[in-house]
Structure 1
Amino acid sequence: MLRGMMGQGRWLLAGVAGVALGLGGAWLSVRGGLGSGAAKSGPWETSAFTGSADADLRTRAGVAVAGLLALSAKEAVYFNAGEDSAGAPLDGRCRYRVSGADPQARWWSVTLYGADHFLVANAERRFSFHMRNVPRAGPDAFAFDVAPTGAGAGWLPTGGQAHFALTLRAYNPDPAIIGRPDRANLPKIEKVACA
């Protein structure tokens, strides 16, 4: 009888381990990328299938985990950056300079999210910049800082979190962005200093 219980315990343990490994693998797969249609332009990544009925299950799951209510590419293209232009992961304890030309779209914005995919709480209640309130570096160019601390209205607070990400949304984008998002002229994200 004892041998029978030990045998059942092993099967139960193997079953629990299998379920845990399967769920863990699925979670890492969803968190690990955009699935089919992925394109990269500098530090920014997107998927041609985000918001499309043609999206594969992995892309749909990734969109759901991130809490993104995705529109079709004709209406909006979503670019996400979890690393700087040098390829290093974004660290909320560092200061970055985000600069570039205005994306070719009717409307655009850049929003900062914490590792949990939520807005980062901050005393300034500043979570994003858009084409009308972004600090200007020329008529069609902008520049702002992303850092744990700053002064004035030219920075997005990271809250000092170890990890954060930026999302650039281009609404009614130029057909060239839709057709070749890997060639889109998107902002640089350059590390200035770390604390």
Structure 2
Amino acid sequence: MGGICLKLALKLVAVVVVALILGAGSALFVIRGFGLGGDIAVGPWVTSLTIGSTQADPYTRARVAVAGLLALNRDETIYFTAADDDDGEALRSGCTYKVTGSDLPARWWSVTLYGEDHYLVSNPKNLYSYGGDSVVREEDGSFVISVGPEEADRNWIPTGGQTGDTFSLTLRLYNPEPDAVRDPSAIALPRIAKETCQS
């Protein structure tokens, strides 16, 4: 009788362990394996209608926590992320890109580079981001931000230069105009064009 109870207890423990492993594995797959839910793509830039909203489900909230994104209310900030260039190729730290655009429909905006680990990429110049108040403008008011391993004359965000590493760019629109909140897909977002790559 004692042997039967022990076998039953071991089977029960095994079932619980397998269930925990499958549950944790599937949750991790869903959190890391898909977009943010409610995704809208504008060229290479992607945003989610649920980030910073009361409609965010537990998976979206977990994805936001894993990415380290501080999701303010949508009326306060719209977040766009690009992991690819305009041609759909992954952003690589050994390549140089030109991010070009003009003022965005928000009180203030910024473009920030993050490494594969979702953290700022360490660099000796401590340059991580440019915003509407710090970017040097062209004569027509537009801007060109150089993103790459080699220093540019102005508006340079270093990638760290490890040829095989990927990175992403996050565009934040703070205090966006009401039309931008209603329809983020209509915003004219910056282009991301690959210039050169290290071999």
TM-score (norm 1): 0.88
The root-mean-square deviation of aligned C-alpha atoms, in Å, is: 2.4
1:3-152 paired onto structure 2 within 5 Å: 16=17, 18-152=19-153
Identify the residue that residue 166 of structure 1 maps to in structure 2: 169
Change (3 A) 1:164 1:73: same
Does the 8 Å CA contact 2:95/2:194 hold for their aligned counterparts? yes
Q: Give the stretch that moved more between structures: 80-89 or 150-159.
A: 150-159
**After TM superposition, where is structure 1 displaced by more than 4 Å over at least 4 residues in a row?**
4-18
- The Cα offsets for residues 5-64 of structure 1, whole Å up to 9 and x where unpaired, read as 999888867765553343233223212344432211111111112111221112111111
Q: Distance in 2 between matches of 1:119 and 1:43?
A: 20
- Structure 1 unaligned regions, length at least 5: none
Larger Cα-atom Rg? 2
Q: Distance in 2 between matches of 1:20 and 1:92?
A: 35
**1:116, distance to aligned residue in structure 2 (A):** 0.8
Identify the residue that residue 184 of structure 2 maps to in structure 1: 181
Q: Distance in 2 between matches of 1:189 and 1:144?
A: 9
Q: Distance in 2 between matches of 1:135 and 1:168?
A: 17
Q: Structure 1 vs Structure 2: percent identity of aligned residues?
A: 44
- Structure 2 unaligned regions, length at least 5: none
User: What amino acid is aligned across from residue 39 of structure 1 in structure 2?
Assistant: I
Change (3 A) 1:122 1:35: closer
